[in-house]
Amino acid sequence: MGKPTGFMEYQREIPVDRHPQERLKDWEEFHEHFTEEQHKTQGARCMNCGIPFCHSGLLFSGMASGCPVNNLIPEWNDLIYRGLWEEAVKRLLRTNNFPEFTGRVCPAPCEGSCTLGIHEPPVTIKVNESAIIDRAFAHGWIKPEPPVRRTGKKVAIVGSGPAGLACAAQLNSAGHEVTVFERADRIGGLLMYGIPNMKLDKKIVQRRIDLLAAEGIKFVTNTEIGKDYDAKKLRSEFDAVVLCGGATNPRDLAVAGRELKGVHFAMEFLKANTKSLLDSQHKDGKYISAKDKDVIVIGGGDTGTDCVGTSLRHGCKSVVQFEIVPQPAGERQDDNPWPEWPKVFKVDYGQEEAIAVYGKEPRCYCINTVKFAGDDQGNVKEVHTVEVKWEKEAGGRIVPKAIPGTEKVWPAQLVLLALGFLGPEETVLDKLGVEKDGRTNAKAEYGKYATNLPGVFAAGDMRRGQSLVVWAIHEGRGAAWECDRYLERKG
């Protein structure tokens, strides 16, 4: 695969993103692009390693190691190296319905388990993936491919995020009549409203949705199952139902002052921002503005980073991001060996932009929020915190302990809670009578995806809990396979 000595001759390179001060002026994607020759060089580093863990999709220590959709990475890296781009996209689409999404927003567990990464910087997989599909669209190689025949079977898919869209694409290609229901005004779920435009341009999302529609998939927006559309009617009108509604129930922070105005869940902030941007370029004012405000983001994951980047584009006065956990080490530790996902310190785009504006890292580690304080109008004005250290209890559990004398008061007129998600909202599951597991997710065995109701399946975050886009695609594809088998047996 690639050039036999490529990994010895060439260094890992990724495109330099647009300068933070430049990209903060707009909502365009911050990614820059390589030339064809640069992609070939990076493809050459894929080193015929014998056992390519990059496409294993295994779980180690609860995290993905390798690509969950089992992308044939060494194969299409080799095809790039040899200049066979059209063959590369065919190979890529065999395993991944939406490489234009994963190539932009996936944290790349494939690179974390790259064999070269044991002793050298890993192969540039994610950049090459997005380059393949972008080149394919640019050259007109991607065209609608409706099924040759229809089975006459009707399938309803609830939720139009990555799991729902992947499931719809697979079932449609099998010839079934697929209808996707979405409660929002636009199709795309997390891809449309959960990820900011500068990280995933919505024209890229809409391009794929238009392609799926041209292939015969029907999309119904502004329709929430269990509220706008009777759940029992759904089962009677369709031969099968696949639930892909996501894990959208946010984790709250139960501290004094939570009710104050100006304290919001991160997704309230991000969704309103993107909707207003798409509807009117923010001219309608129907979004939560961070302009001229001291912003505190509580939570250090991707959603927290997106809140930082969005606040900076609004023109916030300051932005600080709290993490209750310690700062990760700069390199793998002994308890985090290859091919596990490397739990190492990294500076993402939002932090990079904050450093460019304020000259310092916005994240503060080992910080616990104690309470919010407000003014006489009921608006938040302060966040009270204390530093913590992590100690092992008698039972072996590690917990945060407050450090006396480290109390601090932070000015804040906007607080964004990016603490993850507890599971799916209950409306659809309860109305249908779907059994739930101990974490309130739809109970359905991995690999089978069948719920307690005949003909009703569940996939993605609604089944497994909050996870990655690439896992959602994997589950959507798997659920489609099982749903198709069910429809064949049903006759």
**Which H or E run includes 213?**
helix 202-214
414-426 average pLDDT score:
95
Instruction: Give 61 or 315, the one with higher predicted confidence.
Output: 315
CB of 451 within 8 A of CB of 429?
Answer: no
What CA–CA distance (Å, rounded) separates 426 from 440? 8
pLDDT tens digits for 15-25?
Answer: 999 999 999 99
pLDDT value, residue 2: 77
pLDDT tens figures, 74-121: 999 999 999 999 999 999 999 999 999 999 999 999 999 999 999 899
| Strand-strand pairing, 63-65 and 58-60 | antiparallel
Give the model confidence (pLDDT) of 298-307 as tens digits: 999 999 999 9
- In sequence order, the 6+-apart residues with CB closer than 8 A to the CB of 184 are 192, 193, 221, 222
Distance CA 372, CA 258 (A): 6
pLDDT of 267-322, one tens digit each?
999 999 999 999 999 999 999 999 999 999 999 999 999 999 999 999 999 999 99
- Single out the residue of 111, 102, 101, 134 nearest to residue 46, CA to CA: 111
Q: Which residue has better confidence, 7 or 286? A: 286
- Output phi, psi for 386, to 5 deg: -145, 145
**How, if at all, do strands 414-417 and 294-298 pair?**
parallel
pLDDT, averaged across the chain: 96
- 348/302 Cα distance (integer angstroms): 9
Q: How confident is the model at residue 393 (pLDDT cuts 50, 70, 90)?
A: confident
The answer to whether 405 and 371 are in contact (CB under 8 A) is: no
Kindly report, residue by residue over 204-245, the tens digit of the pLDDT.
999 999 999 999 999 999 999 999 999 999 999 999 999 999
Q: What are phi and psi for residue 296, nearest 5 degrees?
A: -120, 125
**Residue partners of 275: CB distance under 8 A and separation at least 6:** 185, 186, 193, 286, 287
Strands 249-250 and 154-158: unpaired
Q: Which domains does the chain have, with CATH numbers?
A: 6-138 (1.10.1060.10), 154-248+422-490 (3.50.50.60), 252-419 (3.50.50.60)
Give the confidence band of 1 by pLDDT, cuts at 50, 70, 90: low
> Tens digit of pLDDT for each residue in 163-175?
999 999 999 999 9
List residues bridging with 264 in a β-sheet: 416
Cβ(167)–Cβ(249) below 8 Å: no
Question: Using the 8-state DSSP alphabet, how is residue 421 labeled?
Answer: E
C-alpha to C-alpha distance for 160 and 191, rounded to whole angstroms: 9
Q: Are 242 and 479 in contact (CB under 8 A)?
A: yes
* Residue 10, helix vs strand vs coil: coil
β 294-298/263-265 pair status: unpaired
Q: What share of the chain is helix, strand, coil (3-state, %, to 5)?
A: 35, 20, 45
> Would you place residue 60 in the very low, low, confident or very high pLDDT band (cuts 50, 70, 90)?
confident
320-376 per-position pLDDT tens digit: 999 999 999 999 999 999 999 999 999 999 999 999 999 999 999 999 999 999 999
